[in-house]
Chains A and B, each alone.
Chain A
Amino acid sequence: MAVADFEPVIGLEVHAQLLTRSKIFCGCSTQFGAPPNTQVCPVCLGLPGALPALNKAAVEMAIKAGKAFGCRIAERSIWARKNYFYPDLPKGYQISQYELPICSGGAVPVPGLGRIGLERIHLEEDAGKNVHAEGGSEVDLNRSGVPLIEIVGKPELRSAEEASEYLKALRLSLIYLGINDGNLEEGSFRCDANVSVRRKGESKLGTRVELKNINSFRFVRQAIEYEIARQVELIEGGGKVLQETRLFDNEKGVTRPMRSKEEAHDYRYFPEPDLPPLLVSRELLDSVTVPKLPQEVVEALTAAGVSAADARTIVGDPRLVEVHRRIGGDAKRAALFVVGELARAVNEKEADLGALKFDPALVPAVWKLQDSGAISSTAAKEVLAGLIRTGEAPERIVERKGLAQVSDTAALEAVVDAVIARTPVEVEKYKAGKTNLLGFFVGQAMKELKGKGNPGALNALFKKKLG
């Protein structure tokens, strides 16, 4: 027997911070990175007597996620208290949802995997952060009360790779919805994984282990792969998998059990008496609009003629989608610009997608100059590069750099005649059948014109005069 004889069953629980300006139960700012304990008030500090007051914006964002993933949105959901002691949890309980969450069911579209089902999405508040320093531990409560949605996926994933794909698709979807910044490093998008294995063909689920502290896509794969191998080895050796919570040690690449005291939680959930049931009216539900999800944008782009590969590249970053949209015109040509010139400029640090210096709507003006023969294709590339760097109008760049090409037939004819007059030998050879000398003539003319002649027009003129 080996890993190949087993089937892993994986379900992910994702905590995503919502991009509200203020916290879920008070008016404090949610800005990341402020000095410790500067974005706090009696409510998020859990001072005696303070009470929660719900931020409607957090509810709207949860509804947005629910609608996007096709969940049932509960007309009435219930807040619950999850009780446990920890220094970063100022009230000694977290306000969450338990028996009646705001969203249930639904699915996340994942490229290559179809739709991965969801159990539920519920709202809750984040805890603070323990900061372990020399001489003791400190608590920063700036994050205490930041709104979260917990997105609980069904155990429909069958490999670490699938889990990673699901996570990527979910993250991108939340970014598209504008409700989460997808930042794993800062902890605004966090993942726990439930992993079990069973022999292939078996329908009964194995004992599941919850993995915590997996804060990058690489770690998700590593942690799950390690855990699958560990469980298989355990079973093959005649052992049994314990239902437990294990922490991923990203330095050693292993999972290990949490200390028993941390694990032995009975959260004693009960309905939060300080908050009335959360009611979602028809009006509220209808007022929440859902933008296109990444998968839908890929489909729209390919339908407009963009190659599948380019479409996926663009959709991978919503800022690129926005640039593409603003360019307008020929979708395919715009896509080539985005994955070509623009991507190159970004790579070379000549452009910043977060703060573009140019108006993408000017790009078609460059195409027009090129297509009309006013500039060469080489010059067009130079104009686009200049546009990206400075935002200067294409016509101005052409003028300032003298990139306009001569297409005026009379002017070109004079040069063509002169070239023919001073190269009788080559003219003879051409007329004798050596037609590949055409390039030579055009080159001579181009030299005279300092590279600004329209090569197409020159070609045609020489052909006509020598033909």
Chain B
Amino acid sequence: MKTDLLPLSQISDALASGGVSPQALLEASLARIRAVDGKLHAFLRLTESEAHAAAKAAAQRRANRKPAGPLDGIPIALKDIYCMEGVETTCGSKILRGYVPPYDATVVRKLKQAGAVIVGKLNMDEFAMGSSTENSAYGPTMNPWDLSRTPGGSSGGSAAAVAARLVAGAFGTDTGGSIRQPAAMVGCVGMKPTYGRVSRYGVIAFASSLDQVGPFAQDVRGVAYLLSAVAGHDENDQTSSRRPVPDYAAALGRDVRGLRLGVPREYFGEGVSPEVERAVRAGIERLRGLGCEVRDISLPNSPHAIATYYIVATAEASSNLARYDGVRYGYRARAGQLLEMYEKTRAEGFGAEVKRRIMLGTYALSAGYYDAYYLRAQKVRTLIRRDFDQAFATVDAVVSPTSPTTAFRLGEKLDDPLAMYLSDVYTVPVNLAGLPGISVPCGFDSKGLPVGLQLIGKPFDEETLLRMARAAEPAEHRLPPIVEER
């Protein structure tokens, strides 16, 4: 197999052994993007000149035998939610068309330091609000396994780019499942670390208490490399943790014998497709076969998670998105008066789903409704978190389907927001509880669409999660049909 089709960690090995050069990898990545991204629409824009410079510098370090780390020279791409100095960053929205940030997000800075070659910016649902990437103001992204289907969302561009081998790794963000759900839909690994594990500075906010940065790759080891490069405290993000960052790749060497795995009954049952359940249960059996102890558990408040999430997330979003008012940057509508300018700018600049959520959130925070909605949602959030705390007294990780179905058709849920929201029913509780979660491929349904298995860990115990995910991931990485090996 061509080197650039291999999972990230194997590309890293090839770079280390001199079997391939950063420039050759970049050329292969750009060639594949030119060949297939017209059909996929994973990328919103390329950063070719920056990427060539980065590849050249990486090659120099590799030649000097002083690589910056396992990512040095590896082509990756970023969801268009990361601010990158001098590069247009739109967050999938018309309101930020043409906006060029004057600074790098902390994650971008760290990735540059790690030698990663950033190839471009990836499509997403507008302001990360959505589960299908159809809410992008720049058109949807297609699923590499079936172009009539969605790659999930909101980080659909990131997932599709990795699954179609356009890049070896990618970064997305996950507020309610926006990394794990698309990873499941395209058959790659996607991880949402613990809230506070990775700095959010320079990552355009959707819901500040839920947003978390995370990586995509074909393999768990690749995800571990990407996470190691960006994790850690940041003075610019006071919600980032000061806990030391372990060597995540090193944790993968240990087996899973004796680890206790909880199967919550609320996450299997009504709503989950039988084919998804079958594949996930098979994955659980593989883990049992490797020595995991499997236990039934209950997370009784998780069924309230979607309702809770759509109050907390929209409330925060209604405030976070207030800054897009046409005064300082981004889109500004023509108007004679200030109020008219605000109203027209926001009416014309935001898409329907974003407006829906701003209105929901504004309502939830309004005088007279705050207690009934926002405050109550915070209380339920505490109960959901407490359920997990109790579960982790007896298990080391929790397992579930990542999403109740495999990839659905483009347009299928566009007019039914509730159905769309339920695509995240198993991922949302993890964000509300601030826990780490990872989606690993665990098979295919009868249509040949990938199924994802979700593992949920204790706060800051990404190591155990990665260990289990490593054990659960398939030995072979099947290629989607859009990738033609030449």
Contact A270 B374 (CB under 8 A): yes
Cα distance, A83 to B236, chains bound together (Å): 23
- With a cutoff of 8 Å between Cβ atoms, the chain B residues found around residue A269 in the complex are 365
Contact A51 B238 (CB under 8 A): yes
Stretch from A41-49, A145-153, A226-234 contacting the other chain:
A41-49
With both chains docked as a complex, state the minimum distance between the C-beta of A123 and any C-beta of chain B, in angstroms.
15
Q: In terms of DSSP, what is the predominant structure of the interface of chain B? A: loop
Counting CB contacts under 8 A, is B370 at the interface?
Answer: yes
Known: A51-B200, A83-B365. A46 touches B102 (CB 8 A): no
Contact A270 B319 (CB under 8 A): yes
- With a cutoff of 8 Å between Cβ atoms, the chain A residues found around residue B203 in the complex are 49
Contact B328 A49 (CB under 8 A): no
Known: A48-B99, A48-B101. A274 touches B204 (CB 8 A): no
Partner pick for B322 among A87, A91, A273, CB 8 A cutoff: A91
- With a cutoff of 8 Å between Cβ atoms, the chain A residues found around residue B96 in the complex are 48
Cα distance, A93 to B319, chains bound together (Å): 7
Contact A266 B322 (CB under 8 A): no
Contact A49 B101 (CB under 8 A): yes
Counting CB contacts under 8 A, is A50 at the interface?
Answer: yes
Contact B236 A273 (CB under 8 A): no
- With a cutoff of 8 Å between Cβ atoms, the chain A residues found around residue B237 in the complex are 51, 53
- With a cutoff of 8 Å between Cβ atoms, the chain B residues found around residue A81 in the complex are 319
Counting CB contacts under 8 A, is B329 at the interface?
Answer: yes
Contact A92 B319 (CB under 8 A): yes
Contact A49 B204 (CB under 8 A): yes
Residue of A nearest to B102 (CB): A42
Contact A270 B103 (CB under 8 A): no
Counting CB contacts under 8 A, is B92 at the interface?
Answer: no
- With a cutoff of 8 Å between Cβ atoms, the chain B residues found around residue A52 in the complex are 238
Within 8 A of B (CB), among A248-299: 261, 266, 268-270, 273-276
Counting CB contacts under 8 A, is A438 at the interface?
Answer: no
Cα distance, A180 to B252, chains bound together (Å): 56
Known: A46-B323, A91-B322. A276 touches B201 (CB 8 A): no
Residue of B nearest to A92 (CB): B322
Partner pick for A91 among B91, B323, B329, B370, CB 8 A cutoff: B323
Residue of B nearest to A47 (CB): B101
With both chains docked as a complex, state the minimum distance between the C-beta of A452 and any C-beta of chain B, in angstroms.
71
Contact A83 B238 (CB under 8 A): no
With both chains docked as a complex, state the minimum distance between the C-beta of A362 and any C-beta of chain B, in angstroms.
49
Known: A51-B236, A274-B238. A268 touches B319 (CB 8 A): yes
- With a cutoff of 8 Å between Cβ atoms, the chain A residues found around residue B235 in the complex are 53
Cα distance, A47 to B207, chains bound together (Å): 16
Counting CB contacts under 8 A, is B31 at the interface?
Answer: no
Partner pick for A90 among B239, B318, B328, CB 8 A cutoff: B328
Contact B338 A87 (CB under 8 A): yes
Counting CB contacts under 8 A, is A85 at the interface?
Answer: yes
Known: A47-B101, A273-B316. A85 touches B325 (CB 8 A): yes
Cα distance, A49 to B108, chains bound together (Å): 12
Q: Tell me the A residues contacting B by CB distance below 8 Å.
A: 42, 45-54, 81, 83, 85, 87, 90-93, 139, 261, 266, 268-270, 273-276
